[in-house]
Structure 1
Amino acid sequence: MTDLIIKPQTAPGLPGTEFLLPEVFARSGKRATYRFVEFFAAEIRNINTRLAYYRALTTFFDWLEEFYPGLEIEQINSIVVARYIELHPGSPLTRNQHLSAIRSLFRWLLSGGVVRENPTVEVRGVKHRVKQGKTPILSDEEMVQLLGSIDISHVVGLRDRALIATMFYSFARIGAVLGMDVKDFFHKGKRTWFRLHEKGGKYHEVPVHHKAEEYLDAYIEAAGFGGEKDVPLFQTSPGRGRKLTGKRLQRQEAWAMVKRRALAAGVSTDACNHTFRASGITNFLRNGGSRDNAQRVAAHEDVRTTALYDRRDDTISLDEIERIRL
């Protein structure tokens, strides 16, 4: 790929210090180059989608240079795209995501007059049907063990306990939780609420469970936020230090913390940021909560998405297995 000096300020959310332009666009002139960068900077508003599409498209165009060196952008046709999807070693979900990224980009190039047709129109995705989610969850006992194992004698331990509890009790996405400022944990009437900023610029408010409120209050008091309402609620700490930096905690840092805490607590080390969303929903449903209400709390557009987080039937009991008799 060819280096195109476009700083992150111009194309926000793109990885690295410089934006790498695929060779095929470097050969296609300034209009194609501009339209390619504009696709990420202007068309895709969600940063996570932007990063996922960037990775997918750079993988596709790198593959293109290997198998079709020197190919022009106008020469990319449905056969080329279909071959890439067919040969891709990833899961059906990953292959369909790559196809979606390629399709969206060429739709953008078509509307901008860079290409005359979208070569992905006739390319079908990989059949993929999911009835059950694969996100690892923690049992109720493991959640108690994990939260109880955290050293809360300092602010970082209080932060970690509060972060995990917030995800578990609110069913919130890690991005929504890390995007919260102190003012997004607030009182309304007699209750405390979370204001969660979700995908597509939407936000919704969720009442705070009393245990999460207890953990957040202890953390905020130790952090000394006081009247500072516009600072990040969950902040980074320098190295293994016990102070906060004032900078917003990032996903990878939260993921590393979860892995470290799970290992130290002796619970499943498969746990990840998304684990607590799935664990909280499963616990809620197991204790009599309705799937419709779980959908509303989790801010899922479709109840079928909520169903993927319902893991109550994951475990088949030994008693059931013993029903098999000869």
Structure 2
Amino acid sequence: MAQGGQTAVQDELQATGPGRLISEYLQHMLVERGLSANTLSAYRRDLLRYHRFLAARGIGSMEAVTRQVVSAFAQGLSTGEDGLAPLSPRSAARTVVAVRGLHRFLALEGTTTADPAEDVHPPTAGQRLPKAISVDDVTRILEAVDTSTPGGLRDRALLEFLYSTGARISEAVGLDVDDVSVDAALEGPAVVRLFGKGSRERLVPLGSYAARAIEAYLVRARPALAANASGKNSAPALFLNLRGGRLSRQSAWSILKAAAERAGVAAEVSPHTLRHSFATHLLQGGADVRVVQELLGHASVTTTQVYTLVTADTLREIYAAAHPRAL
């Protein structure tokens, strides 16, 4: 938000009793909770919407807010009633969470005698299924990379690695050379050590295609990229940029996008697409969901089970098209 717009919002929030308390809560979130600028901006935007809702109802104090008022606000976010612009389920849920946090804070501080939002729950957000691409599309993307240059060898190794391991892009670009064990003769199983969310460490097998691509990159390309480093030593990173430093997430994204365009893949493709495709293709091939959970580094199998919905949809489509009495 521009500085002038933010000032106008602050002035609006200071205009009434509820607005002043919202400002105090936002200040608390900034100082005590250490929220980032982006998160705080989202809270401010959500609570400004709530402030305007209260003002339109003539509610001039937080003590006058009842559970019915908060419930009406939550419902209006989803339906567009009460003069509210309808939001997506996820945005509506985020806004209700912000309002619940505000009222909990005011009750704990003794500013209000009760918490009217305590039993008001966010609307259920629709489950967002991962987007996977077909095995054929993955293969076309991988084979579209020109491996005649050091940069091309790196690009092929990176994309093969992402699809072979299901790694998050942050995990891939954060790897050092010592984190990957590739047998020079490719006689033994190759493994990679990944560090996921919460610094959780896991070992993931590396398929033969990815192992060969990384071996080719390490032997024929990485030394040339490392030689471009400005200092005496290049970064210990596995994947280097053209200047010998660690490859960035943005650059990795651009590498995949360029390969997808060359391959003529029309679907929207991102590094996370390869992770989704990795999981979906494993499950379609008969892998157990708990094995896929371990490979992806999910803390809970519930997170992984969303991929079973994707494969179930595929099975339904095949059944409907193939079974003589399906329709």
Q: Same fold (TM over 0.5)?
A: yes
1:213 to 199, 207, 211: 211
Determine if the alignment matches structure 1 residue 35 to structure 2 residue 28. Answer: yes
Q: Is the 8 Å Cα contact of residues 223 and 244 (structure 1) preserved in structure 2? A: no
SS in 1 for 2:274: helix
Letter in 2 for 1:36: M
SS in 2 for 1:312: helix
In structure 2, the partner of 1:13 is none
Q: Deviations over 1:58-77 (max 9, x none)?
A: 431343465567x9996795
SS in 2 for 1:275: helix
Determine if the alignment matches structure 1 residue 178 to structure 2 residue 165. Answer: no
SS in 1 for 2:271: coil
In structure 2, the partner of 1:87 is 77
1:124 to 113, 121, 127: 121
Rounded to whole Å, the distance in 2 between the matches of 1:146 and 1:294 is 23
Q: Is the 8 Å Cα contact of residues 153 and 217 (structure 2) preserved in structure 1? A: yes
TM value normalised by structure 2: 0.69
Q: Is the 8 Å Cα contact of residues 253 and 271 (structure 2) preserved in structure 1? A: yes
1:272 to 265, 270, 273: 270
CA RMSD of aligned residues (A): 4.2
1:323 to 316, 322, 325: 325
**Do the aligned partners of residues 144 and 187 (structure 1) sit closer, same or farther apart at CA in structure 2, a change above 3 Å counting?**
closer
Q: Deviations over 1:278-305 (max 9, x none)?
A: 2111222233322221111112223232
Determine if the alignment matches structure 1 residue 160 to structure 2 residue 147. Answer: no
Deviation at 1:39, TM superposition (A): 5.3
Q: Deviations over 1:153-200 (max 9, x none)?
A: 223333333332222221222333333333433469x65432222223
Q: Is the 8 Å Cα contact of residues 89 and 126 (structure 2) preserved in structure 1? A: no
Rounded to whole Å, the distance in 1 between the matches of 2:158 and 2:37 is 24
Instruction: Mark the runs of 5 or more structure 1 residues left unpaired by the alignment.
Output: 5-18, 45-49, 238-242
Letter in 2 for 1:299: G
Rounded to whole Å, the distance in 1 between the matches of 2:107 and 2:264 is 53
Q: Is the 8 Å Cα contact of residues 54 and 60 (structure 2) preserved in structure 1? A: no
In structure 1, the partner of 2:139 is 144
In structure 2, the partner of 1:204 is 202
Instruction: Mark the runs of 5 or more structure 2 residues left unpaired by the alignment.
Output: 79-85
Question: Which shows bigger deviation, 277-286 or 54-63?
Answer: 54-63
Q: Is the 8 Å Cα contact of residues 76 and 119 (structure 1) preserved in structure 2? A: no
Rounded to whole Å, the distance in 2 between the matches of 1:54 and 1:171 is 32
Q: Is the 8 Å Cα contact of residues 46 and 98 (structure 2) preserved in structure 1? A: no
Q: Is the 8 Å Cα contact of residues 163 and 277 (structure 2) preserved in structure 1? A: yes
**Do the aligned partners of residues 74 and 200 (structure 1) sit closer, same or farther apart at CA in structure 2, a change above 3 Å counting?**
farther
In structure 1, the partner of 2:82 is none
Task: Give the greater-gyration-radius structure (CA).
Answer: 2
**Do the aligned partners of residues 60 and 32 (structure 1) sit closer, same or farther apart at CA in structure 2, a change above 3 Å counting?**
closer
In structure 1, the partner of 2:164 is 169
> 1 or 2, which has the higher helix percentage?
2
Rounded to whole Å, the distance in 2 between the matches of 1:53 and 1:302 is 25
Deviation at 1:262, TM superposition (A): 1.6
Number of matched pairs = 293
Rounded to whole Å, the distance in 1 between the matches of 2:238 and 2:160 is 14
Letter in 2 for 1:198: G
Letter in 1 for 2:120: V
Rounded to whole Å, the distance in 2 between the matches of 1:175 and 1:21 is 37
TM value normalised by structure 1: 0.69
Rounded to whole Å, the distance in 1 between the matches of 2:272 and 2:46 is 28
Deviation at 1:2, TM superposition (A): 8.5
